[in-house]
Chain A
């Protein structure tokens, strides 16, 4: 199954959910990322219940708190 992650097409096993994807993609701190699935932001509580489909577009947006 192919999905588009942060602008890159990648191959994953079928029926992978968002929580598993975060692990496979090595997102060390899931708390530090906002997940966008096909233009919609997903709440953290829903990560394990959302199963990816062929052609899904996923973006990880990282928290960046610096400025000074």
Chain B
């Protein structure tokens, strides 16, 4: 176990006094390794809160640079960061919040050739990506590598999230099977997103990571939480692992492959 300094004991005091976390929980947080895929609308709040919480090792993946149109919701980046790699911009802010943690940046996009090697090094993964090809790729990789993760998706005024413990709880493909046909998909640039909605969902994902790591409460396993911010209605749908699931079922996948990419920039 790790000895906390006086500075850390003070910094994390509001966690430590929580009955469900305590000093043991904070030690688990300090020893945890979390990978955040995407430093955008969802990844920004996740990265800020996990850094502040004191996750000992955080990996952050994104191949993009900060663009002016990102700043309406990607709250980890500032106006002065336009043109800077998102992972660098994110790392700077996270280190400014908490110098006690270690951050590894991956300035790239993940695909079938690199995802497994990266995902394997972590205890928990956050899906903060913006397209179905990446979301299904992350699900495949986490199922194959047996790494729990949080799925997140947002659209306009809505969001949804589920947490996945591979082979024990339902995976993303148990619920959604495969990416929808490309002509049916509204992309973020064509569909829009209320910036604060990204924050709502991202903070739920950060909370799920911290719950999983500390064992506090019950993560959203076998549950899809969805909300509509216009009516501010939240709904939880329960389900079970599908034994015939294309990915995690009895005849599930044994290899990683790329899905057809429809990015936010795709013309639709």
Hey, which bits of chain A sit against chain B, CB under 8 A? 6-7, 29, 31-32, 34, 36, 39, 41, 43, 59, 61-68
A66 touches B239 (CB 8 A): no
A68 to B238 CA separation, bound complex (whole angstroms):
27
B40 touches A41 (CB 8 A): no
Q: Can you name 19 A-B residue pairings with CB atoms under 8 Å? A: A6-B235, A7-B235, A34-B175, A36-B237, A41-B174, A41-B177, A41-B242, A61-B237, A65-B131, A65-B155, A65-B185, A65-B262, A66-B264, A67-B40, A67-B130, A67-B152, A67-B188, A68-B40, A68-B130
B155 touches A64 (CB 8 A): yes
B residues near A7, Cβ cutoff 8 Å: 235
The distance from the CB of A47 to the nearest CB of chain B, in whole angstroms, is 13
A residues near B177, Cβ cutoff 8 Å: 34, 41, 43
B38 touches A67 (CB 8 A): yes
Hey, which bits of chain B sit against chain A, CB under 8 A? 38, 40-43, 70, 74, 127-132, 135, 152-155, 158-160, 174-177, 180-181, 184-185, 187-188, 191, 193, 198, 224, 226, 235, 237-240, 242, 262, 264
A67 touches B128 (CB 8 A): yes
Whether A67 touches B240, Cβ cut-off 8 Å, given contacts A7-B235, A31-B184, A61-B176, is: no
The distance from the CB of B129 to the nearest CB of chain A, in whole angstroms, is 5
A32 touches B191 (CB 8 A): no
B239 touches A67 (CB 8 A): no
A residues near B188, Cβ cutoff 8 Å: 65-68
A residues near B42, Cβ cutoff 8 Å: 67-68
B155 touches A41 (CB 8 A): no
Whether A68 touches B153, Cβ cut-off 8 Å, given contacts A6-B235, A29-B184, A34-B176, is: no
A34 to B224 CA separation, bound complex (whole angstroms):
12
A39 to B38 CA separation, bound complex (whole angstroms):
32
B127 touches A67 (CB 8 A): yes
A22 to B240 CA separation, bound complex (whole angstroms):
23
A residues near B198, Cβ cutoff 8 Å: 67
A65 touches B38 (CB 8 A): no
Query: Please, which residue of chain A has its CB at the minimum distance from the CB of B160?
Result: A64
A68 to B43 CA separation, bound complex (whole angstroms):
8
A41 to B177 CA separation, bound complex (whole angstroms):
9
* Sample of 11 more A-B contacts, CB < 8 Å, known A65-B153, A66-B188: A7-B235, A31-B181, A59-B237, A62-B158, A64-B155, A64-B160, A65-B155, A66-B130, A67-B38, A67-B127, A68-B188
B128 touches A68 (CB 8 A): yes
B175 touches A66 (CB 8 A): no
A8 to B255 CA separation, bound complex (whole angstroms):
41
The distance from the CB of B45 to the nearest CB of chain A, in whole angstroms, is 11
The distance from the CB of A8 to the nearest CB of chain B, in whole angstroms, is 11
The distance from the CB of B109 to the nearest CB of chain A, in whole angstroms, is 12
A66 touches B41 (CB 8 A): yes
Whether A68 touches B176, Cβ cut-off 8 Å, given contacts A39-B239, A41-B239, is: no
B132 touches A65 (CB 8 A): yes
B residues near A68, Cβ cutoff 8 Å: 38, 40-43, 70, 74, 128-130, 188, 264
